Every structure is written in C-alpha cells, then in structure tokens.
Structure 1
Amino acid sequence: MPTLIGSVQRALRLLEAASSHCGGAPAKQLAREAGLPLPTAYHLLRTLTHEGYLRREGGVFVLGDAAGRLADGGLQQKRRSMILDSLAHFRDAVGAPVYFAVYREGEIEVMGVSDTPANPACEEWADFRATAHAHAIGQCLLGQLDEKTRRDYYDRRPVEGITPYTVRDMRTLEERIGSLRRMQPVTEHQEYALGTVCAAIPITAGDAAAAMAISLPVHQESRLLYVVDRLRSEVGALLSTLSFSISI
C-alpha cells in the first residue's frame, strides 16, 4: 500500500474547506471543517498563503491566484479531452485524419488532431499559424473573417509559396475566398504539403471562427469530397460538445 503524505492530505482538506466559502472563512472555522487541531491548521494556512493558494483578507482566508491556476488547468484539460474524444469519433466514422482549429486572438490555433497509424495526419513541417493561405484549414478560417481582420493577418503573415502549388499572392487568395459559398467545403491540392490533399468545413461554434478538416494522400484525391461530406454529416450530433469546449 503506498505511503500517504499526511501534511498534503491536511492541506488539501483546508483548501476544500476554503473553497466552499465564497466570502472566505476564519482559521478556526476552516480547522473545524477540515477536522484539524487549530495549531496544525494555522501552520498549514500560513504555508498555503505564502505559496499563493490562499489569501488572507480581513481575518478570513479566501482562495488565492495559485488555486485559480489549478482550476484553470483542470478546465483546459477537460476541454482538450472533450475535443479529442469528439475527433476520435469523427476519425473512425470517416476513415481519415481529422483536425479541429479556431481563429483566436489573431492566430490560427489547431486545437486537436486525431489520426491512426494506418491513416497518419499531415506533418506540420511549416508553422500552421503562419501559413493559413496554404492549407484548407487556414483558408476556411480566413473566409469566415471580415476583410479588415484578414488584412491584419496578411500584414503579420504574408502570403508566399511554400510548395509549387501554393497560391502566390494575396489578390489571388482573396479572389478564391470571395468565391466561396457559405458552408462550402474548402479544398487544397498539395498547397501545404506535397503528396497531401485536404478539405475543411466551417463550423459554427459560439462566436469563434472554427473549422474541421480531413487530409488524404494525393493518390486518394478522388475520395476527398466524399470524405468531407461524410464528416459534415457526422458533425451535427457532436457540435454542441465542440462549442462548449471552445467556450470554457
């Protein structure tokens, strides 16, 4: 049986007690609720306050910034787990690698990728954030932005060729984006990676511009539209999960 560290257990009980009082609680009350002798509670409360997990205000103890960071980390992990579970479902349903990305704070953020050894994802050999013009995910996200926001992105991330197939200038890219119909899949042929074709669909997920995508080896290009249509048909049932995952 593993050895339990008593002082850690006692400190955690104090944190749990403090978290149950929005306005804070005095040391005597926290000691009583945690089932600890008052001297032991005082010692642990001082330590927890010094480390930033608690804060003393007007004679009561409230949760500190460090405790908040622990909670935020838990939410981030929950969000990532929910996204990956959803992507694994889509991956198995369509038989291809699946990607999920958002445009947040001026950058492309790939929030999750799900693949298998038999169907590996496209290797990120050039930074996805800097090459939105070259891949289906980026073009799909850019198409959901207003012109001013897109131009701000281009100012920071210039359009340039990274393969012989990449769109070469901003004017051509803007013409392509302007021709897209609402909810139309965006496809690209070896524009980001030689030997790979991709397709992306826009996703309505809260206020964020979001996209889901699939990739295939170029010799399977004839399957591309079928697979992305299959993805689109699967997305509706789990879209609320993705929306929640973005918002937390």
Structure 2
Amino acid sequence: MNTEIDLPAKRDLIAGLEKGLQVIEAFDQERSRLSIAEVAERTGLTRAAARRYLITLTHLGYMRHENKLFSLTPMVLRLGQSYLHSARLPRIVQPLLYRLAYALGEAASVGVLDHDQLVCVAAVSAGQLVSATLQPGTRVPAYCTANGRMLLASLPPEQIEAFLERARPEQITEHTIVNKERLALDIARAGVRGYALVDQELELGLCTIAVPLKNFRGEVVAAMNISVHAGRMPIDQMVERCLPAMIKIQVELNALL
C-alpha cells in the first residue's frame, strides 16, 4: 500500500479543486437550484468564495445561472461517464449482467458502496422497468437496498458497528426497517447466508435479492442484484427462482474480477 498517496501531505492537496467539487455536490434532488448564499451555507465557504466558484463553473459549462439561482448542466454527467467508461468493473460485469437479466427476464444491476450510499455502476432492464433507481450513476441509501446490505455485511465488524452508529434510517416506505437492532440482524443474516433480500423498503412494489462479487483476492468489491415487481414475483419465491442463476453468474464474475 502506498501511504504517500493514501495519506497525502496537506501541501500536496489542491484546495481549490476540493472546494469546487464540494460546490457541485451541494446540488441534489431536493435542492436542484441554489443561490450564492445557499451554496455558501451548504459548503462552508464564504459568500464571496462561493460566488467565484459558481462563476467559474458556469464559465466552464458545468452550471447555468438564471434569476440569481444556479443549477447544474448535463455537462456534469461527463464526470460520471469518465468513471463508467474507464473503470474495469462496469466493463467486466455488463456482458454477464445482460445474460443474467435476460435469462430471468428481470432487471439486474451491480452496485458499489460510496460511504453510506449505494451507487449503481451497471444495469440491464431486460424489458422490465421496475425502478428508476436501476440506472448507472444513481445513488440510494445502502441500508434499505439488497446490494447495500450485502456490501455492508462484507465489512469488518468494527466498520459495520460504526455505520450503524451514524446511520439515521428513514421510513421511506411502510416496509423500511428503521430499527437499528433489526437492521443489524438483517445485515448479519445476509453475511451468513451469502445473499440479501429486501422487500419493498426502498420503493413500494420493488423486491430485490443480491449476492456479493469478489475479486481474485477474495475481497468483496461489488454486489449484484435482481429486482422484480412484487405483483409478479413475491419475495418468498425469489430465492428459489433467481438465486441459482445468480450464483452461476457470480462464480463467473469472481473469476474475472
């Protein structure tokens, strides 16, 4: 491990780049249009500094400015596309994910953990558009998704404990597990049995089953799931109908990662 890169000296960091990315990250689904003052508040920058970053990002094409409010432009998608086009994981999993989805006739996706969120890096709908979250680049809470719980289960015990300590589960649907003891039990159960099941906790009608994907060192690097509509396949049928096909693809991918 290269500690020079993992633990860089402060003099090696470009503060302007870090703050510029913080400005981009200040915009989200709830606040897609922000004023200079709101960006300053969300990033901890002074109003003058926030103004300069917003003007620079607008000049570069990443922002638009209208009626004193700023918003992101589609150009920001280039940042995510750079990862999806260059990263090894999406390129390797996509063909086999396609095979899995069409073999089962259901939607399939692969996700990775980013802090406490699950980020989708590859997806195939197989004609079943069960959720808008099953698209590359989408981010959802890890605690209420099958891929997320499977990845959380792969963490060392102390990291799982730390996650549960800082987690603030929200009642997204009537089925969402918000009790931390129940959540801890479900994460542990996923680790023991090797798959995770989530029943309509992120979206009503959306049932998912996930398995871990490991690299050649045996480290879990991602999770793969099948998502179905509850009206088409109840959660209690997913293990029998989906898991065997998932395990076949899992074995093939583990040999490639």
Classify the TM-score, shorter chain. 0.5 to 0.7
1:224 equivalent in structure 2: 238
Q: Do the aligned partners of residues 237 and 224 (structure 1) sit closer, same or farther apart at CA in structure 2, a change above 3 Å counting?
A: same
Maintained 8 Å contact 1:166/1:190: yes
1:146 equivalent in structure 2: 156
Aligned-residue Cα RMSD (Å) equals 2.9
Amino acid at match of 1:147: P
Maintained 8 Å contact 1:200/1:211: yes
Larger Rg: 1 or 2? 1
Which of these residues, 127, 143, 147, is aligned with residue 137 of structure 1?
A: 147
Of all paired residues, the percent bearing the same amino acid is: 18
How far apart are 1:156 and its partner, in Å?
5.1
Classify the secondary structure of the residue corresponding to 1:112.
strand
Which of these residues, 99, 122, 142, is aligned with residue 109 of structure 2?
A: 99
How far apart are 1:136 and its partner, in Å?
0.9
Maintained 8 Å contact 2:116/2:141: no
Q: What is the alpha-carbon distance in structure 2 between the residues aligned to residue 145 and residue 73 of structure 1?
A: 24
Amino acid at match of 1:231: M
Amino acid at match of 2:255: S
Which of these residues, 179, 197, 204, is aligned with residue 214 of structure 2?
A: 204
Which of these residues, 235, 240, 248, is aligned with residue 250 of structure 2?
A: 235
**Mapped pair 1:213 → 2:232:** no
List per-residue Cα deviations over 1:56-108 (Å, max 9, x = no partner).
xxxxxxxxxxxxxxxx8797166533332221122122221111112356653
Q: What is the alpha-carbon distance in structure 2 between the residues aligned to residue 237 and residue 155 of structure 1?
A: 36
Q: What is the alpha-carbon distance in structure 2 between the residues aligned to residue 204 and residue 81 of structure 1?
A: 15
Q: Which runs of 5+ in 1 are unaligned?
A: 1-71, 244-248
2:95 equivalent in structure 1: 85
Q: What is the alpha-carbon distance in structure 2 between the residues aligned to residue 74 and residue 199 of structure 1?
A: 24
Written as runs of structure 1 = structure 2, the 5 A alignment for 1:107-146 is: 107-116=117-126, 118-124=127-133, 129-146=139-156
How far apart are 1:155 and its partner, in Å?
5.1
Classify the secondary structure of the residue corresponding to 2:192.
coil
Scaled by the length of structure 2, the TM-score of the pair is 0.56
Classify the secondary structure of the residue corresponding to 1:102.
strand
Maintained 8 Å contact 1:102/1:211: yes
Scaled by the length of structure 1, the TM-score of the pair is 0.58
Q: Do the aligned partners of residues 204 and 141 (structure 1) sit closer, same or farther apart at CA in structure 2, a change above 3 Å counting?
A: same
Which of these residues, 175, 180, 188, is aligned with residue 165 of structure 1?
A: 175
Q: Which has the higher contact order (CA 8 A, sep 6+)?
A: 1
Q: Do the aligned partners of residues 165 and 152 (structure 1) sit closer, same or farther apart at CA in structure 2, a change above 3 Å counting?
A: same
Amino acid at match of 2:170: E
Maintained 8 Å contact 1:102/1:208: no
Classify the secondary structure of the residue corresponding to 1:182.
helix
Maintained 8 Å contact 1:103/1:210: yes
1:18 equivalent in structure 2: none
